[in-house]
Structure 1
Amino acid sequence: MTGSSPLARNYSPLPVTIADGSGAWVTDGDGRRYLDFLAAYSAVNFGHGHPALIAAAQEQLQRITLTSRAFDNDRLLPFAEALTSLAGKQMMLPMNTGAEAVESGIKVARAWGYRMKGVAPDRAEIIVAAGNFHGRTTTIVGFSDDPQARDDFGPFAPGFRTVPYGDIDALRSAIGENTVAVLIEPIQGEAGVVIPPEGYLRAVRETCTRNDVLFIADEIQSGLGRTGATFECDNAGVVPDVYLLGKALGGGIVPVSAVVADEAVLGVLRPGEHGSTFGGNPLAASVGLAVVRLLETGEYQDRARHLGELLGDRLRSLVGRGVTAVRSRGLWAGADIDPALGTGREVAEDMLARGVLVKDTHGQTLRFAPPLVIGQDDLEWALDRFDQVLAARRNSVPSASHDGR
């Protein structure tokens, strides 16, 4: 046995230990402040310690926090009514984590296929996209093509077919008589904020409708204001059959997730077939309701859209100066680092040294996802630090290694 920490080594965090936070800023145990440019992968969309969310949690903590779904609680129905109204759907299934929402969506889609579409028993298929990230459960990693997520965790569940992300012709060709759903991220977050071609989501919607197949949108990272709209599907002008929501739905306070759909889909579930001890608990429902109330104002969607233009423009100005490509939507961006300057992890460590927290993915990509409450001055300050990091790295290597030759 090596190492002295009792923690399992399933993470390799940046060398910072956070002890406090407010808004877009966090503080380590030594009192040093950092601008949070990751927001817990969009789970902290509304910043650390948002007053309305803290108030909702504190009020509920004084009353009751857990009943289980063996009984109703007085916070769950108001939460369900608000969330379904926000999404324009009829029903919601409350769960806890994003992975649970995805697993629940898979079960619902299969039941819908057998009970509504008439697919033969145990033959249902769900189409997924290459490069996907939907969670870490054994079912989900079974249809991942990321070796780090998948290797040594089999055997895996059957019933999934993978097609290239953004390739509508491949999707159409993959649909067969046993296809019950298409499960995709409107923007692939873990893959590096990968945005599909213009018109792709509309074509997915049309293809699913034509073939009597459910369109399941995993908006766990892209939804709830991050991309300048309530859902990224709104930006594309489409409405999926099923929304999978999580992360920001818990306001950065408690894990809250949900499957949201019309009764024709979620109504296939019967009592006793699916559940969760903590799903829909009073504390989670209170915080979730407060989150929906914030989104109902439209303020956070507007902030993400407005400040996202600045974020995207500033990052694109660095292409050819240490960045090879940028993909952005709202306050969410992926920037690919020129390998001549170092790895994404090395650049993230340089950013940490300058007081900005970001995270790398897939070797060369940095993801930027600050809380939606960030001010413009703070946003520009962080981007200035990124510019400085790249300049320092450019100056430390021979020009011939990064001048395009």
Structure 2
Amino acid sequence: MAGEKQEEIKHSLEQIKNLSITLFNQYKEMKPVIRISEAVFAVNGDISFTSGLPKAGKSTITRFMIATALMPHIPQEHDTISIRSEYCQGRKVIYLDTEQNPADTQKMITSILDIAGLSEQPENFIALNLREYSHSENLDYLKSLFHHYNDAYLWIIDGVTDFLPSANDETAGNEIIRYLMKMSSINDTCIVCLIHENSGNSNGKMRGHIGSEAARKCQGAISVSYEEDKGVHSIKSTYFRGSKRIEPIYWQFNENGKPVSCDNETLDNIKKIAEDKDHSKNIEIAKVLEKVFKNVNGTGLTSDILKQRVVLYAPPAKQNSSKDAIRKRNDRYFKAIINSRLLRVEEDVRDNIKRTIYHYDNPNLKIGF
């Protein structure tokens, strides 16, 4: 139409064709760099994340990732709490610490060398402390480091949110994730970032908007926690692309303050504690379900009605909880009931509409656990 403003076309067809993926394209092979148990956690050309609450054990996990990358040979009997990196072949391993003071970073180096069985710090192991700088200065340093060490094998960034004005800054969070993805590809390197989890979190949800973006884009994510009821630390897989999720890995500090894998007796105790906890939870859920299904007379409940009644009879939320916190708590509790296996599920078709109907057939706590 005459006079209508033409939309600006910024890319030529040739440039667009360069984005095409065909069977004839050749790319660098993405090889495992870090394994957790038998699963691949991190690879070259991509980013991965380690999350946890403060003092959960993220730094300990980091020590093993770095130490094993510096070891040409790892004896099978060497306890690395199921963390093994592929040997760096002399390429640089870089650790960026934005959280600890320099003295603690130095202790970290000593511990890494002790695990690796090294008496001196190798030239290819570079540790830097950026604690005193602002987020913008940290980002400038990061960009300079990727330029100067463009042949590095492994990057560990301890405190990725310290490169942002806020963990919830959507624009900055998206940009740093995109930037790290880009540099991992360009430099054919492996990048592992450490990030805190939301306070009170129990499902490995990483902090802020950057955490949500990381979960969508990363190669792998693990959650590290201290399980106070069991007296042990754990590693759990949140997400592994192209690899099965692992069974939880449990470890603790021995009498000398060194991290070690839990022995069989401790693992048996952990299993018993978990079973007892599940049993108690099922008892609680059964009591709620008895109230939910009272006077239903065998007709069952649709999902919407079931949730309404569960929310009505569920144990009260914590005092002073926000509406959003209560909503999330109700969602979690409803999900726990659906997954409890105490309900019988059947499909019902009415007016050509398929519905899921839930029944509770275990009144008076006569439950087959």
The structure whose RCO (Cα within 8 Å, separation 6+) is larger is 1
Which of the pair has more CA radius of gyration?
2
Same-fold status (TM-score > 0.5): no
Scaled to the shorter chain, the TM-score interval is 0.3 to 0.5
Structure with greater strand percent: 2
Q: TM-score, normalised by structure 2?
A: 0.35
Q: TM-score, normalised by structure 1?
A: 0.32
